[in-house]
A and B are shown apart, each in its own frame.
Chain A
Amino acid sequence: MMIPVCRLADLPRGEAFRLDIDPPVSVFHTDDGEVFAIDDTCTHQDASLADGWLEGCEVECPLHASKFDLRTGAVDAPPAKRPVRTHGVLVEDGMIYVRVSTDAPNLPPCVASRLAGGPA
């Protein structure tokens, strides 16, 4: 399913837009003009990657130091150890759309247990 995100013109380069679906997805517009979508939640702890440090095709978690590759979802080093999901992106008529992955997300333990209805 394609989900409309926002107009490309409304997302400046170097910025991110957080799509409040469950689990949330973030769309990044890099300084080079590329657009990528990945899961918004760091796989280590509950933090929004849309708030993180975007540099090239990598975003660093705003809390700790792990960096995720926007192209592959891969993580470079601890404290996060698992990749984030990547999602398909389509830009058509100036509008950004995301095709959400059907893979299981790698959510941090505290978020995963909350979504499962267990203790936070």
Chain B
Amino acid sequence: MRTVAVVGASLAGLSAARSLRGRGYDGRLVVIGDETHRPYDRPPLSKEFLAGTLGEADLSLEADDEDLRAEWLLGARATGLDRARRAVRLADGREVRTEGLVIATGAAARTLPGTEGLAGVHSLRTLDDARALRDELARGGRLVVIGGGFIGAEVASTARALGLEVTVVEVAPTPLAAPLGATMGGLVSALHADHGVRLLCGVGVKGIGGESRVDAVHLEDGRSIPADIVVVGVGARPCVEWLEGSGLALDNGVTCGADGRTGLAGVVAVGDCANWYDPRAGAHRRVEHWTGARERPDAAVATLLAGGAVEPGVPRPPYFWSDQYGVKIQFAGHAGGADSVTVEEGSPDGRDVLAVYRRAGRPVAVLGMNQPRSFTRWRKQLSAPPRQS
């Protein structure tokens, strides 16, 4: 291959570019990113960056002396893929002809319809989002976070430490029940109340009040919560619209195999926009985890360079972390299929538990709160190849 294009210049795209060079690809490498920034790390955006303890230079994902010999097209949004001509079309009318293509366009924050242009309403996905929110939080006031997932909880935790009055609104009866199950979701979200953050569950948002600037969040049950700042943390959708009509299978992201391969030769997908086949789960899953964006591109690049002639290995179980109210939360595996959850170490009251999820007696997931050592051991055990029966 003489040209490979990577569309997406965040962690997954950068990891793919690194793997290409690391695996000896010596041809032309074009990295296309719709933001104007060089690759940066997103996890601190809801935590240290928002709190002001890390600056923008600390977010860089590239080493100072790193040179991938890539052409960086930044501020360039991909708008289409011409399968026959093997060309990526860009919003500014340019196109990039390429033999190999890595799709790493990520996901975009979901927003609430009707809130465009209303000052004080934020989502948090990009560096520019985080800059705007950081400046507003620094002024203080009443913050309402819509959505009790990980991003919402981290923003609530950070804002509380900055001294804001914080309310979290969650439509489900228990926050985090989808990733952690109801019992452990309840335990983790109890951190809010421990730290003086009000948590309202089981109620939806009817609308956001205010003329030019937000002044309240109106709930479905008739209540109104006064607000100076609102953060909408209601998940993300994969950025794959630009691939419609390209011949790629799109279903909750780009449908791809366990090694990122798609139905088109020479095209792989990685990161948050990729709906990978997970051999452990026996199903396709789109996993929005930092570790997946960091680790899985190497398998996709191996497949791309080998023309598909690679037997994919079994990836490690999904792993993610969160930091809330000074508690390190870690999770690995899939909670969905578990039929039991038991606390093996620590105590729920102390908020330092190590909990193991099992299905038919076999561990399928593990949750740690301030238990990094035990968590690592359990995570290793989950990653061991399944025993032949």
Contact = CB atoms under 8 A, between A and B. Distances in A.
Contact of A51 (B43, B53, B294, B373): B373
Contacts of A53: 376, 379-380
Given A53-B376, A62-B376, A110 B53 contact: yes
B384 interface: no
Contacts of B60: 81
Contacts of B307: none
Given A77-B18, A109-B53, A51 B41 contact: no
B63 interface: yes
Contact of B321 (A64, A77, A110): A64
Contacts of A62: 372-373, 375-376
Interface residues of B, number: 25
B61 interface: yes
Contact of B376 (A51, A77, A109): A51
A39 B48 CA distance: 23
Contacts of B294: 65, 77-78
Contacts of A63: 321, 328, 330, 372
Contacts of A77: 15, 18, 294
Contact of B61 (A47, A51, A78): A78
- Best-surrounded residue of A48, A53, A65, A77 (most CB of chain B within 10 A): A77
Interface string B208-250: 0000000000000000000000000000000000000000000
A16 to B, nearest CB: 9
Contacts of B58: 109
A48 B372 contact: yes
A65 B379 contact: no
Interface in B65-116: none
Interface string A81-111: 1000000000000000000000000000110
B376 A47 contact: no
Interface string B331-369: 000000000000000000000000000000000000000
A115 to B, nearest CB: 15
Contacts of B290: 64-65
B165 interface: no
A70 to B, nearest CB: 16
A65 B291 contact: yes
Interface in A36-54: 47-48, 50-53
Given A63-B328, A65-B294, A77-B294, A47 B379 contact: no
A24 interface: no
Given A53-B380, A65-B294, A78-B11, 7 more contacts: A50-B373, A51-B373, A52-B376, A53-B379, A63-B321, A64-B291, A110-B48
A-B pairs, top 9 by smallest CB distance, nearest first, are A51-B373, A62-B372, A51-B372, A62-B376, A78-B61, A53-B376, A65-B291, A65-B294, A81-B63
Interface of A: 47-48, 50-53, 62-65, 77-79, 81, 109-110
19 contacts: A48-B372, A48-B373, A51-B372, A51-B373, A62-B372, A62-B376, A63-B328, A63-B372, A64-B291, A65-B291, A77-B15, A77-B18, A78-B41, A79-B43, A79-B61, A81-B60, A109-B58, A110-B48, A110-B53
